[in-house]
Structure 1
Amino acid sequence: MTDWTLAFDTFEPEQEGLREALTSTGNGFFCTRGGLAWAQADGVSYPGTYTHGGFNRETTIMAGVPVLNEDLVNLPNWLLLEMRIEGEEALDRENVEILSYRHEYDIRTATTIRVLRVRDRAGRETTLETRRFVSMADMHQAAMKWTITPENWSGRVEVISALDGRVTNKGVARYQQLEGRHLDPVSPRTFGPETIALVVRTRQSRIYVAEAARTRIFGVAGQLDVGRDLYQMQDYAHQVLSFEATRGEPVRVEKMVAFYTSRDHAINEPLVNAGKAVGRYGTYAEAFEHHRRAWEELWEICDVRVPNDERVQLLLRLHISHILQVCSPHTSDLDAGVPARGLNGEAYRGHIFWDELFIYPFLNFRLPEITRGLLMYRYRRMGEARAAAKEAGYQGAMFPWQSGSDGQEETQKVHINPKSGKWEPDLSHNQRHVSADIFYNVWRYYETTGDTEFLLDYGAEMMLDIARFWASIAHHNPVRDRYEIHGVMGPDEFHEKYAGSDEEGLRNNAYTNVMVAWLSEIALEVLDLVPERRRQALRASIGLTDEEVEKWGEMSRKMFVPFHGDGLISQFEGYDNLEELDWDHYRREYGNIQRLDRILRAEGDDPDKYKLTKQADAVLLFFLFPEDELKPLFERLGYEYSTEMVRRNTEYYDQRTSHGSTLSFIAHAGILADLDPESSWERYMVALESDVGDVQGGTTQEGIHMGVMAGTLDLIQRGYLGTDIRDGALHFDPKPVGNLDGLSFPMQFHGTRLQIELKGKQLTVAAPADGQPVDVRVGDTAARIESGGSHTFDFGGE
């Protein structure tokens, strides 16, 4: 294992699904899982290809009740390559002995590599080396090279190269009872003797997807003149390429693939464009060189170097690679959101949640054009958000907890509890905080980039209409002279309502209320930023009244935040009245208790009764806001705020949190960076290892966790270097956490490229390229970094 290679040296059937997810390859347009070339869905392997926006809705009849779900669709499998020797059955796992095995993911180029030495039933030994990538240079291109070396035999070989549209969505065990058929066949086709093509259409959303594959075979002297036979069905096509193989002489199979959908720009129709594109592709080596250069350019912008910790270095780069597979420069021009589980699995049905909150900070400082494009996904769905608010009796824009194709609420009404096998009601659509999180994302993007054009054209409209929603859902309690919000859920997710109540949601979730107090103040600032003419037009367009603006000012000063005990923020009103849980009992009984909600419900109990939390909720505020922002916010509301209060709250909730979401480790690690650096680093390492180690026991194979991967990177820049933006200046507050000496990374602030380096008690900020001067502050020291200049700051005292 190196800083750039994730590798496995044995084939472990029970680990194959996890490894397929970890070694997927993608380019921000589509991604393909890292399965064996010949594999089909068989309970061990699960081939999967997914693209942004590739959704389809289907209805499942459950006990006579129709249940509608929208899924990110598993698209035709372009990988299939099989080999027959002397007309015998094709080689597969069941009929060969694996003599040696190597499965690698080259992080630097997002290339999946497998090298197998096998012995078949006739005693023939063969080395099979597969390399494949989805091109970062050409968003429609994928390529695979299969090198076959006969070690102790010569003979007739047949290579089967296929495109398989018979795939279904069956990659998540708990969704097995839901309808998984999403594709209808359209037609296969050939483009000359070397190319097969296949078109399918999603059944409800009617998205056409075309794949064209050109397969050529090369020997030591060049391209071979091979025999070709064709077999086609409506949803499947393959070629059989036959040739003579000679002992010891490698033969190279090159499969070049073009991938198009009817949602693409500048096409006539997907099939014709796929066939035309693949006919123009060069060799695998030529395509790979373009791909390699595109990745090299991205690494210059995105690499994070930690020279003194090989494990941390490897995992950070793995996480960067996966983020860029899903969110690349190609993504910025798509109508795409960020699926919480990326594009290499079917968990959460490919929906877009609040995980953007953890993903955008890394992109904002490196590839802000991607964040801009992803924020446009939300803007384009404002109409649906406004309709949802109106239907619920509110004003403004109320975004859904789970979003998919068109921005309507996609949260399931029931979900299965794997512990009990029973279907249970799902009330998580009440996580209205997602609208506040979107507001937060827009503002942080603007602060980091200074993109006034986006703010004026799109961002301000989103933010003001979100603020209108919160003003309409909040009500004034005259007894307290405070504004309150009822009927919502916080990020916790274990508490959906009060135990024994038929009414959904909770009163005064602290996270939600503080976020709303903050955004009410920022909304007023946004109004001031917008020029008068645009401001008047915008107010007229969304129907913003003077009364609403006045209410924002009041809410920024009078939101109710529940407390109990000595400065303890109550997660929601009434939290202090809940029962304490016997945590030791459940740890002894179950070991892993991250999903305590499922355990308790399987026992016939109710998690709403107890003081427990799935993930950081009230304390998440201390992670999202620096003290210089949160302290005046609390004081404006009339509440005390101190470092000791942060410590007490963090310790209190840490004892009552199961960390059922890996995002929780990110939040706690960030908060503890100041309070307990050693504990912070321990949490950080859990988060960093969570996907590779599959700490949730089987979930990573269903799709990597985008939020935690990006969160580990954000923790480096924001948690441990204390990166913050105040009054248009870039601030750093480095923490003595972990083994980060020598840390360096590039970043971008207001369009200016910077290079950051940490050595000992010194932080160097350099501006190596042309750009505007940047004001930087570390502690009490301020400096203006001019283009081509740098400054080294001393920090940390004696």
Structure 2
Amino acid sequence: MRYLKIRFSDSQACVQQIDNQAISHEQHFSLEGQDCDAMLRQLGAEICRAFDAFCGAVVIGSETSRYSSSVIRFNGELADARLLLTDTLNVPVLSGEAPEELPALAKQFAEQREHSSWTLEYYGYQGGKKERSKESMLTVGNGYLGVRGALTESKASDDNYPGTYVASAYNKLVTRIAERDVVNEDFVNLPNAQFITLKVEGASAYCPNQHQVLELKRELDLKTSQLTTRLIGEDDQQNRFEILVKKVADMENPHHYGISYTVTPLNFSKPITLISEIDGQIINYGVERYRSLSSKHLTPVSEECDGCLSTLVMKTNQSGIEIAQSAALTFSGPQAAKWHNRCETAKTRTEIRFDASQDQSYTLEKTVALYTSLETQEDLPAKARALAARGSFPSLPRVQPLPGTPCGTRSISRSKAICSHRS
């Protein structure tokens, strides 16, 4: 069996051709290019010209990582070399040292080929157009709704666009441009119910574009439709934490998706507040060339927070489509956690505060239900509340509720707020 072993240093890659576990050829390549992507694509092309008929490759990186043994640094940017070299070499690529036994190695290559065929993977965080493109590729959906693969802690900006869309939800607006009325019909960005972040006591709420993203790995499993995000973050007070997010659109009930959000303090033991929102104070902001056009398509109808269940109802301002979203929260953590709800115009917000210990993990599960008047003639808020409160689905394991509590923790204080904007 012939395969390649690629070992990175700061300025070059050493490539060895291995035939039946003996080195038959070795060549060194300088690392050149404007950024990591360009450098790795160029390196892959050069390797293909210098070596042939290999069945796989093993990549050993130059940087320490919690998530991969093939991470490198180039021009100050971190990248997982395995991912891009898989594309350019067109063979299964393993991360880290390979097993010495050929049958074990052949098995790992076969497993990696299967994994790569069904998994879309990204490493690192760059912001800007590259990040927004990754969000598009990492969208989870089920034919009825689609939720962009943005980090749950992000809001719409030049770096992120956490959009939510439903089939056939369009709206027309008129914009006065150069003394002419320009009519534009948009696919409406619906309220953002995937927002979850954390705030460590004494620090600002974590935001990827304002604070540190030390490491980030994302995988979209096309077999299960689950998007998994692993992030090492650091806030403005140097509190470091790991965040594990699993996001799934329900394939059995198209009105339903779920998010599992697990945070682990890495260098502190302090109170943490988890923040969950349904945010209808959003606009259509995804396409840069259309930003001069009118973009506010939604008007508020009602907001309600009751214990662990929040509901927001909005309506498109021209096509008259009513949209109801409900989110139910289940927290796996200290029983003494304190819950606080707040409603404001076009937004609901729930905060869960608890004492966190270093290296302990805490999970918030959020299940979201979404209905529109396009397909549902019944009471939309009631339908959304009933589905969200039912809980999760098999591909996103549900935390078992504790006895005698409304949504999975004894510590819920049933603060309730309701606001209606109906005329």
With the shorter chain as reference, the TM-score category is 0.5 to 0.7
When structure 1 is superposed on structure 2, of 24-33 and 116-125 the one drifting more is 116-125
Q: Describe how 1:496-575 pairs up with structure 2 within 5 A.
A: none
Tell me which amino acid in the other structure corresponds to 1:275: R
TM-score by length of 1: 0.35
What is the deviation of 1:124? 2.4
Q: Distance in 2 between matches of 1:97 and 1:215?
A: 27
1:51 aligned to which of 166, 183, 187: 166
What is the deviation of 1:69? 1.8
What is the deviation of 1:76? 0.4
The equivalent of 2:325 in structure 1 is 211
Deviation by residue 1:298-355 (Cα, 9 ceiling, x = unmatched): xxxxxxxxxxxxxxxxxxxxxxxxxxxxxxxxxxxxxxxxxxxxxxxxxxxxxxxxxx
What is the deviation of 1:24? 0.1
Residue 242 to residue 7, structure 1, CA distance change in 2 (3 Å) = same
Contact 2:204 2:235 (8 Å CA) reproduced:
no
The equivalent of 1:270 in structure 2 is 380
Contact 1:87 1:158 (8 Å CA) reproduced:
no
The equivalent of 2:389 in structure 1 is 279
Q: Which ranges of structure 2 fall in alignment gaps of 5 or more residues? A: 1-82, 84-115, 399-423
Are 1:238 and 2:349 matched, yes or no? yes
Residue 121 to residue 289, structure 1, CA distance change in 2 (3 Å) = closer
What is the deviation of 1:234? 2.1
The equivalent of 1:133 in structure 2 is 248
The equivalent of 2:415 in structure 1 is none
Deviation by residue 1:666-719 (Cα, 9 ceiling, x = unmatched): xxxxxxxxxxxxxxxxxxxxxxxxxxxxxxxxxxxxxxxxxxxxxxxxxxxxxx
CA RMSD of aligned residues (A): 1.8
TM-score by length of 2: 0.64
Contact 2:264 2:360 (8 Å CA) reproduced:
yes
2:261 aligned to which of 146, 158, 174: 146
Q: Distance in 2 between matches of 1:41 and 1:288?
A: 26
Q: Helix, strand or coil: the match of 2:241?
A: strand
Q: Distance in 2 between matches of 1:262 and 1:150?
A: 43
Deviation by residue 1:118-141 (Cα, 9 ceiling, x = unmatched): 233333221011110111111111
Are 1:288 and 2:403 matched, yes or no? no
Tell me which amino acid in the other structure corresponds to 2:122: F
What is the deviation of 1:226? 2.3
Query: Higher helix share goes to which structure?
Result: 1
Larger Rg: 1
Q: Which ranges of structure 1 fall in alignment gaps of 5 or more residues? A: 291-798
Contact 1:217 1:224 (8 Å CA) reproduced:
no
Residue 152 to residue 289, structure 1, CA distance change in 2 (3 Å) = closer
Q: Describe how 1:342-381 pairs up with structure 2 within 5 A.
A: none
What is the deviation of 1:200? 0.4
What is the deviation of 1:261? 0.6
What is the deviation of 1:263? 1.6
Contact 1:126 1:151 (8 Å CA) reproduced:
yes
Tell me which amino acid in the other structure corresponds to 1:206: G
The equivalent of 2:123 in structure 1 is 9
Q: Helix, strand or coil: the match of 2:131?
A: helix
Q: Distance in 2 between matches of 1:123 and 1:152?
A: 9
Q: Percent identity at matched positions?
A: 28
What is the deviation of 1:225? 4.7
What is the deviation of 1:98? 2.6
Contact 2:311 2:325 (8 Å CA) reproduced:
yes
Q: Distance in 2 between matches of 1:138 and 1:154?
A: 40
Q: Distance in 2 between matches of 1:193 and 1:65?
A: 49
The equivalent of 2:203 in structure 1 is 88
Residue 289 to residue 227, structure 1, CA distance change in 2 (3 Å) = closer
The equivalent of 1:112 in structure 2 is 227
Residue 120 to residue 288, structure 1, CA distance change in 2 (3 Å) = closer
Residue 120 to residue 178, structure 1, CA distance change in 2 (3 Å) = closer
Q: Distance in 2 between matches of 1:194 and 1:10?
A: 33
Deviation by residue 1:627-684 (Cα, 9 ceiling, x = unmatched): xxxxxxxxxxxxxxxxxxxxxxxxxxxxxxxxxxxxxxxxxxxxxxxxxxxxxxxxxx
Query: Higher strand share goes to which structure?
Result: 2
Q: Distance in 2 between matches of 1:45 and 1:188?
A: 25
Q: Helix, strand or coil: the match of 1:74?
A: coil
Deviation by residue 1:383-423 (Cα, 9 ceiling, x = unmatched): xxxxxxxxxxxxxxxxxxxxxxxxxxxxxxxxxxxxxxxxx
Q: Distance in 2 between matches of 1:249 and 1:33?
A: 29
Q: Distance in 1 between matches of 2:291 and 2:140?
A: 26
Are 1:261 and 2:365 matched, yes or no? no
What is the deviation of 1:10? 1.2
Q: Helix, strand or coil: the match of 1:3?
A: helix
Contact 2:262 2:363 (8 Å CA) reproduced:
yes
What is the deviation of 1:230? 1.5
Q: Helix, strand or coil: the match of 1:93?
A: coil
Q: Distance in 2 between matches of 1:273 and 1:256?
A: 14
Contact 1:281 1:287 (8 Å CA) reproduced:
no
Are 1:228 and 2:336 matched, yes or no? no
The equivalent of 1:173 in structure 2 is 288
What is the deviation of 1:64? 1.8
Q: Helix, strand or coil: the match of 1:229?
A: strand
Tell me which amino acid in the other structure corresponds to 1:108: K
Number of aligned residue pairs: 283
Q: Distance in 2 between matches of 1:289 and 1:249?
A: 19
Tell me which amino acid in the other structure corresponds to 1:54: A
What is the deviation of 1:87? 4.4
Deviation by residue 1:512-558 (Cα, 9 ceiling, x = unmatched): xxxxxxxxxxxxxxxxxxxxxxxxxxxxxxxxxxxxxxxxxxxxxxx
1:198 aligned to which of 312, 332, 344: 312
Q: Distance in 1 between matches of 2:396 and 2:144?
A: 17
Tell me which amino acid in the other structure corresponds to 1:274: A
Contact 1:125 1:152 (8 Å CA) reproduced:
yes
Contact 2:248 2:395 (8 Å CA) reproduced:
no
1:78 aligned to which of 193, 208, 222: 193
Q: Distance in 2 between matches of 1:225 and 1:275?
A: 26
Residue 287 to residue 262, structure 1, CA distance change in 2 (3 Å) = farther
What is the deviation of 1:95? 4.4
1:251 aligned to which of 345, 353, 362: 362
What is the deviation of 1:20? 0.5
Residue 277 to residue 287, structure 1, CA distance change in 2 (3 Å) = farther
Contact 2:203 2:235 (8 Å CA) reproduced:
no
What is the deviation of 1:264? 2.1
The equivalent of 1:592 in structure 2 is none
Contact 2:246 2:396 (8 Å CA) reproduced:
no
Tell me which amino acid in the other structure corresponds to 1:81: I
